[in-house]
Amino acid sequence: MTRALERQLIVILDFGSQYSELIARRIRETQVYSEVLSYRASAEQLRALSPKGIILSGGPSSVYDAGAPQCDPEIWELGIPVLGVCYGMQLMVKQLGGKVERAKRGEYGKAALSIDDPTDLLTNVEDGATMWMSHGDSCVSLPQGFEVLAHTENTPSAAVAHPEKRLFGVQFHPEVVHSVGGIALIRNFVYHICECEPTWTTEAFVEESVREIRAKVGEKRVLLALSGGVDSSTLAFLLHRAIGDNLTCMFIDQGFMRKGEPERLVTLFDEQFHIPVQYVNARERFLAQLEGITDPEEKRRRIGHEFIRVFEEESNRLGPFDYLAQGTLYPDVIESADSNIDPKSGERVAVKIKSHHNVGGLPKNLRFKLVEPLRKLFKDEVRKLGRSIGLPEEIVRRHPFPGPGLAIRIIGEVTAERLNILRDADFIVRDEISKRGIYHDYWQAFAVLLPVRSVGVMGDQRTYAHPVVLRFITSEDGMTADWARVPYDILEAIANRIVNEVKGVNRVVYDITSKPPGTIEWE
């Protein structure tokens, strides 16, 4: 999709780094389109894409290990600028005749970058700037034609270049926020070295998406899986602009939404946006699907399949429909790893962290054709898109909410009783931070219900009830996250309300796990 916008393309070859998506997002911030591909992409495939530049990501391997991932060596002869990051730099050095060995001293965390050549890649990067290191190997000799651009106390070759071939490498991670001047380096590569133009803008995306939706759909009808979140709501506005009344929005109330949200959603779309919504109450059938199920992947699979079944049934009543629209995003596609499977070996390039109900849950016999205009966008880009086409702030800035909803915030079996407990506890979390004006200080803030009980005392009586976990997250994009340092008085107020107002809860605890090693959601 958006082929015209993708002509200014930077390709990221993924070698298994947790930061590959982040590199792509940083490129997008320069208003240049970027895309993550498997490191197995051949030089021929890359030549066909005609990218303006190629970035080799970091990765967990050592380049000298048996079976370490390798890129096609013909990439160096394409005449396309290449930037190797960490493992990507070491691979470049090794494949072009240099030498990489285990370093006498590894380098992890912050390091001061001493710049030897401030031109090209390092223009406007201050000498002594802090960069984020994460490596145990070092380039001990460089290939012919390469020169050192910068060093650190422990790394003689922290940044290198072959100016004539426009090949560059950095041993640090310019894409992370800890690297001061990292975005300046990325802009140098994108604009000055790759000579890209800033064509990846919200306005251009809207204009071209509308054209492509109309060309694909024509006069046929589209059924949208509306959830009320920023993704599906933005998609509803975009599709309504493109095809008008040929769009039918259907909200399937699976019983896993937050308190009051189904009613609010239908009212908002019908009365304020004038986009009719077909409401379907399917709470009982979804709950029946999860009876006795405790495995999180099985929960997601069953919810995803039931969504499709309900849509098929309801479309027969309201249809016919040729297309099913979904608010699938780019991180959903990458994290599910369905697009990163080697066709010969069947081996996954990336580890599958979890299935996304709108990526991994679709049956092979799905009779709808899919329309997914947002599947190339990151969450922050969707928010910008939503604002540009008139979506109200209460939806644009709504905390991310998983497709399976509260079902994956209840650890273990999902029951009606547990849903009611969690729904009430979650409402208190949101109510407290909203009335204090700090709702938008957090990427997400929610409650999790555990399948255990603990002893407590309320009044003069012993209790044996559930603990609730509070999860407050700060993040820029959801790919990495840190636990929020919430003031104690706020945590205390939330905990007091939960144990006093929510029947079945006698203990509240706080999750202080970052991502990684944890995920934002518990399942």
| C-alpha distance from residue 277 to each of 95, 223, 283, 389 (Å) | 57, 10, 17, 19
Q: For residues 234-247, b (16+ Cβ closer than 10 Å) or e, as one string?
A: bbbbbbbbbbeebb
Quick check: 328 and 375 in contact, CB under 8 A?
Answer: yes
Which of these is catalytic: 135, 162, 173, 466? 173
Which of these is catalytic: 6, 21, 175, 521? 175
Query: 173 catalytic, yes or no?
Result: yes
Distance CA 146, CA 129 (A): 23
Distance CA 377, CA 382 (A): 6
Quick check: 433 and 471 in contact, CB under 8 A?
Answer: no
Query: 175 catalytic, yes or no?
Result: yes
Rounded to the nearest 10°, the torsion over CA 402, 405, 407, 409 is 60
Going through 73-162 in order, the beta strands assigned E by DSSP cover 82-85, 99-115, 129-141, 147-151, 159-162
Strands 505-510 and 461-474: parallel
Q: Which residue has the tokens 């060995």?
A: 101
Backbone φ, ψ for residue 402 (5° rounding): -65, 150
Tokens of 381: 């880009």
Chain center to CA of 428: 27
| C-alpha distance from residue 482 to each of 181, 443, 515 (Å) | 22, 10, 6
CA atoms within 13 A on the CB side of 233: 29
Which of these is catalytic: 6, 21, 71, 86? 86
Q: Which amino acid is at 319?
A: G
Question: Catalytic amino acids?
Answer: 86, 173, 175
